[in-house]
Amino acid sequence: MSDAVAMAVERAGVAPPGKALLSIRDLCVSFRDDSGWTQVLNNVSLAVNPGETVGIVGESGCGKSLTALSILGLLQKRDVLRTGEINFEGRDLAKLSEAEMRRVRGRHIGMIFQEPMSALDPVFTVGDQITETVRTHFNVSRREANERAVAALAAVRIASPQNVVSMYPMSLSGGMRQRVMIAMALVCEPRLLIADEPTTALDVTIQAQIMDLLLDLGQRTGTAILFITHNLGLVAESCTRMLTMYAGQVVEDGPVDKILMQPKHPYTAGLLGSVPQPRQRKSLLPSIPGRVPSPHEMPSGCRFAPRCTYVQPPCLAPQALLSADAERQVRCRRYDELTLPGAIS
Amino acid sequence: MSVDGVLGVPPRTTATRRVNFWRWVRSDLRAVLSLGYLFILIFVSVFAWKIAPYSPIEQNVTELLMEPTWSHWLGTDDLGRDVLSRLIWGAPNSLYAAFLAVTVAIVLGVPLGLLIGFLGGWFDELMSRFIDALLSFPPIVLAIAVTGALGIGLTNAMLSVGFVFAPVLARIVRAQTLVVKSALYVDAARGFGAGTGHIIWRHILPNAIQPVIVQVTLMLAIALLAEASLSFLSLGVQPPQASWGGMLARAYNYIELAPAQMYAPGFAILLTALAFNALGESILVALDPTMKRR
C-alpha cells in the first residue's frame, strides 16, 4: 500500500510522505461573533494511515464535522481562524492557497455529505454532476467523462447506470442518492475519503448496504476512510481505529476493539453505555446526564467534568492528552485508576 | 443489492432532452398557443413591409376616423392612415422596445443580484439600500428622467425602462442567491474542487433563475405598456413612426368620436402580454425537474 502511495506521490511530484496519509497536529479553529473569538476546536490531532478506516465518534456539536470541513479548507474565510498542521501526502494543507486546495478537493480527498437528499444539485442530472467533478480535475473529453460516470455508477452497484446518468436527483431514492454521492466522491480515485455521517439520513437496511459498499470500495481501491458518525455499532463493524471527540477536543484515540472492550475515558464509556441493548428490554435506556457545553461556556478544567460520575477536585484543572500505551491516548488523569464498563464484557 | 434500482426507478428508454422538449410541447397546449402566437408576431414584424396593405405613414385627409371597411379592414385613424398597416408596422417597434428593455434589465440586474447575494456582508447592505432607493422612485418618473438624460427616442426610452427594471431583477436574484448559496449541494460542489466562478455560474445561477424567468415574462408585458406610456409622452417612438402604445395614446384622444379605434392596438398589447405570461409559466414548469412528471 505504501508503495502505491510512493508511486502516486512520485507521479504528483511532491515530497515523500511520512507513514501516515493524513496527520493533523494541533488543529485549532475559532469563530468570531459579536462577543469576540470563540474556540470550537482545541488542539485536535489525528492520523489516518493509507488504506485504513478511522472512525470519529461523539455527540452532536463535538466538532466532528468541523474537523472534516477544516481538513478540506471548506470553512468560511471570514471570521474563522484556523491554526495547526494538516499534513496530507507530505504537504501541509493548511498552507496551501485556495487554488491549490481546489486541486486537492475531490481529486485527492473525496467527501460524502450527511444528507444525500440535498447534497445533489436538483437542476442537473446525475451524470452532469459526476462528469463535472471528473472534468474539474482531469483534462478529458465530455464523452470519456461520461463513460467514467457510468463506470462509477456501476461500481456503486446501481442497476442500469446508463439510465441513471440521465436522471435528476429528485427521481432517486435516498439510498440511490447516497450511492451517487459515493460515486462522485470516488470517481477521481482519491487517496482519502471523508464520510460525514453517510448513513444517518437513511433507514436501517439501506444503512447496512451503503456501509458494506463503502468499505468494500475502500478496500478494493486502497482508499483510506475517515468515518464520522455517532453510531458506535457502525464503528465497531467497520473501523480499525477510532477517536472520541468531546467539546472540540479529542478525548480518546486507539484501536477500536481495545476501546470497545475497555474504554479509558468516562465519556467513551458513557457513549458505549447509551447504546440500546436488546436484552435490557424494560429498563430505562442509560444516558449521560447533561449536554455538551456550548463553546461560550466551556469548563476551564476537564471539559467533561460537569457530566462525569468519576469527577474529583483535580479534574477541574485542564487535562492533557496522555499516552495510555503505544497505541492509545486518553484525555483523563484518572484513566489508570478507573475500570470502565466496555461494550463487550 | 439493487433493491433501490428495482423499486425506486421506473424503467426508461432513450429519453434525451430533445424528446423531453417535444413531449412538453405536445402536453402543454398553452405553451404551443403562446409560442405560435409569438412566432406569428415575429414573422409579421420581419415581413411588415410586405404584409402591410398600405404605407403606415401616408395620410389621406378624405378618409378620417373611418369604421372598418373592405378596403381598410380595421378602419383609418385621425389622419386617414390605415390602422391595420400601422398595427403591422407597430409590431417590430413594440417587440423591439419590449425585448430591449428586458435585455437591459437582465444584463444589469442578474449579475448584480448574484454578486450581491454571493458576496453578502457590507456589500449587500450597501447595494440593497441603493436598490431600495432606486425602487422608491415611481418607475415612469425615473424612466422619464433617464430618458431625458440619454436623449429622446425609442432606443433611449427603452434603455431607461430596462435600467428601471434592473433593480427589481437584482433584488429577486439576490434573495434567491441567499437561499441557494447555503444549500448543501453548493458546499458539496466546493468539496469536489469546483471554483467560485464555476459555483456561481453552474450551481447558483440555474437554481436562482426560475423566479427571474417568470418575472421577465411579466416585464415584457410591462415594457410594452411602458413603451406606450413613454410614446404617449412623446419620449418614445417619434411620429410618424407607428407603435402600439403610440396608436393607443392617439386613439384615446378620439375616444368619443371613434371608440373602436382603441380596440386594435389594445388587443394587440393584451394578447402579446398574455402570450409572454403564458409562455413564462410553461417554461417554469418545464425547467423545474420536480414538476416535470405530472
pLDDT (tens digit, 0 to 9) for every residue of chain A, 345 residues total?
444 444 443 333 333 345 789 999 999 999 988 888 888 898 899 999 998 999 999 888 888 889 999 999 888 777 888 999 999 988 899 888 888 998 899 899 999 988 877 888 888 899 999 999 899 899 999 999 999 999 999 988 888 899 999 998 888 888 889 889 999 998 888 999 999 988 887 888 888 888 888 888 888 888 999 999 888 888 988 899 999 999 999 999 999 999 988 899 999 998 888 887 776 666 677 788 888 888 888 888 889 988 888 888 888 888 888 888 888 999 988 888 888 887 764
- SS3 track for A65-126: HHHHHHHCCCCCCCCEEEEEEEEECCEEHHHCCHHHHHHHECCCEEEECCCCCCCCCCCCCH
DSSP reduced 3-state for B270? helix
Give the pLDDT band of residue B6 (cuts 50, 70, 90): very low
The answer to whether B131 and B188 have CB atoms below 8 angstroms apart is no
Tell me, yes or no, if B189 comes closer than 8 A to chain A by beta carbon.
yes
Residue A100 C-alpha cell reads as 491549490
> What are A152's three cell numbers?
462509477
Beta-bridge partners for A243: A56, A253
Cβ atoms of A125 and A168 within 8 Å: the answer is: yes
Cβ of A119 and B185 within 8 Å?
yes
Residue B136 burial by Cβ neighbours in a 10 Å radius (0-12, 13-18, 19+):
exposed
- Residue A337 Cα, gap to closest chain B Cα (Å): 44
Q: What's the average model confidence in pLDDT over B195-218? A: 86
Task: Give the model's confidence band at B12: pLDDT under 50 very low, under 70 low, under 90 confident, else very high.
Answer: very low
β-strand A53-57 against A224-228: which pairing, if any?
parallel
Q: Do A122 and B207 touch (CB under 8 A)?
A: yes
Taking residues B123-141, what's their average pLDDT? 89
* Beta-strand relationship, A241-246 and A53-57: parallel
Average pLDDT rounded to a whole number, residues B244-250: 83
**Whole-number pLDDT of residue A19:** 73
Contact list, B8 vs chain A (CB under 8 Å): 171-173, 175-176
Whether the per-residue pLDDT at B294 is higher than 70: the answer is no
B197 touches chain A (CB under 8 A): no
From B6, B188, B289, residue closest to A168, measured CB to CB: B289
pLDDT for B24: 63
Q: Domains along chain B?
A: 3-293 (1.10.3720.10)
CB contact under 8 A, A110 and B192: yes
Which chain B residue's Cα is nearest to A194? B191
Is B206 in contact with A173 (Cβ distance < 8 A)? no
Which residues of chain B neighbour A124 with C-beta distances below 8 Å? 202, 206
pLDDT reading at B17 higher than 60: no
Hey, is the C-beta of A128 within 8 angstroms of any chain B C-beta?
A: no
Q: What is the DSSP letter of B262?
A: G
Which residues of chain B are within 8 Å of residue A210 when distances are taken between CB atoms? none
Residue type, A34: D
Q: What is the pLDDT of residue B290?
A: 64
Which residues have CB under 8 Å from A131's CB, separation 6+?
A: A142, A145, A146, A148, A149
Determine contact: B1 vs chain A, CB below 8 A: yes
∠ at Cα B102 (B98, B108), nearest 5°? 150
DSSP 8-state symbol, B70 = S
Contact residues on chain B for A170, CB-CB shorter than 8 A: 289-290
Interface test with A, best of B4, B12, B196 (most A CBs within 10 A): B4
CA distance B245 to B247: 5
**B114 pLDDT above the threshold of 90:** yes
A78 touches chain B (CB under 8 A): yes
Distance (Å, rounded) from C-alpha A254 to C-alpha A268? 12
A25 and B CB contact within 8 Å: no
Check CB contact of A132 with chain B, cutoff 8 Å: yes
